[in-house]
Amino acid sequence: MKHFRYYILPRLLLVLSMIATLFCLFFLWLSMDAPLPSAAAICARMDKENYGSPGKIVASAPIDMTEERITLKTTYTSHDSWWFVSRSGDRFQLHLLERIGGFLWRPLDLATNNYYAFPLSLQDQPIGCTGDIVELVTTIDPLSLEGCKVIPILFCADPSVVRMEAQLLYLTSDEWDDPQAAMDSRAVSPEFTKAGDGVWVGPSPYVVIPWASTRSSGRLAVFCQGYDADGNLVCSYDPTKNQE
């Protein structure tokens, strides 16, 4: 009896405590959206959950919420937020992740239910884009027009393209059929640099939202063009003519 009490029982309690601790850690891990020390593993898991083909990460960067050394108050400010682009053939996937504890990654809460996939085809449409990852409504001119800060990311599946250009603007529903006048008056054209295989990224400009003070509606449009090493236009993307 003394042997059980002084030798077996303490060891048994220790084992049970370790099992209970492991269960608690496991449920804590699940409650945190099952983070992993590898961003690539999280991206692959998101691809699988959304029935996508896992690809190789070709570009990534933190979502910077500073402007002239001032931290902008947005829904991303309180997160260590990053974007990742993975590629599988002519298919690009955009993932928004959050880094916690300095080494664990999980899907960003704001993007858990969103999945950005851009299947491109050299025969059909070799170029695509996204520009609405980060938005900030702010006053940007004396007329009190409101604007949006965006992170423009362009994708191109054509290997001959070495330079990308794009014009960003918000179009109202009335301007969508004939956007040229709006492009001439308020489009912004940030300079893009290559961030990875088939991925170009530009600085975060402010884009005027012309219907901010009215009841009109619209959405962001990104017109982009791809050029080869000799400066020849290889492909282009017009969102007003390439709608699903």
Give yes or no for a contact between 93 and 118, defined as CB atoms under 8 angstroms apart: yes
Question: What CATH class has 122-244?
Answer: mainly beta
74 residue type, one letter? T
pLDDT of residue 131: 56
Question: What would you report as the CA-atom Rg of the chain, rounded to the nearest whole angstrom?
Answer: 24
Give dist(CA 75, CA 72) in Å, integer.
10
Give the pLDDT of residue 160: 94
Residue reference for tokens 């099952």: 34
Task: Give the pLDDT of residue 21.
Answer: 73
For residue 152 the two structure tokens come to 């423009």
Per-residue pLDDT of the chain (244 residues; tens, 9 = 90+): 666 566 676 777 777 778 777 767 666 655 666 788 999 999 988 888 777 778 899 999 988 766 665 555 566 666 788 989 999 888 888 888 989 988 899 888 655 455 566 667 766 778 887 654 445 555 555 455 577 778 889 999 999 999 999 999 989 888 998 999 999 999 999 999 999 999 999 988 778 777 655 556 778 889 999 999 999 999 999 988 865 4
Cα dihedral across residues 108, 112, 114, 115: positive or negative: positive
- The CA distance from 136 to 130, in Å, is 16
The residues spanned by each domain of the chain are 34-119, 122-244
Decide: residue 235, CB within 10 A, 0-12 exposed, 13-18 middle, 19+ buried: buried
Task: Say if strands 153-156 and 66-67 run parallel, antiparallel, or are unpaired.
Answer: unpaired
CA–CA separation, 87 and 199 (whole Å): 9
pLDDT at 72: 59
Instruction: Please tell me the pTM assigned to this model.
Output: 0.80
Determine the pLDDT at residue 200: 95
| pLDDT, position 142 | 46
Question: Of the candidates 32, 53, 36, which has an alpha carbon nearest to the alpha carbon of residue 44?
Answer: 53
Q: What are the structure tokens assigned to 104, written together?
A: 């664990």
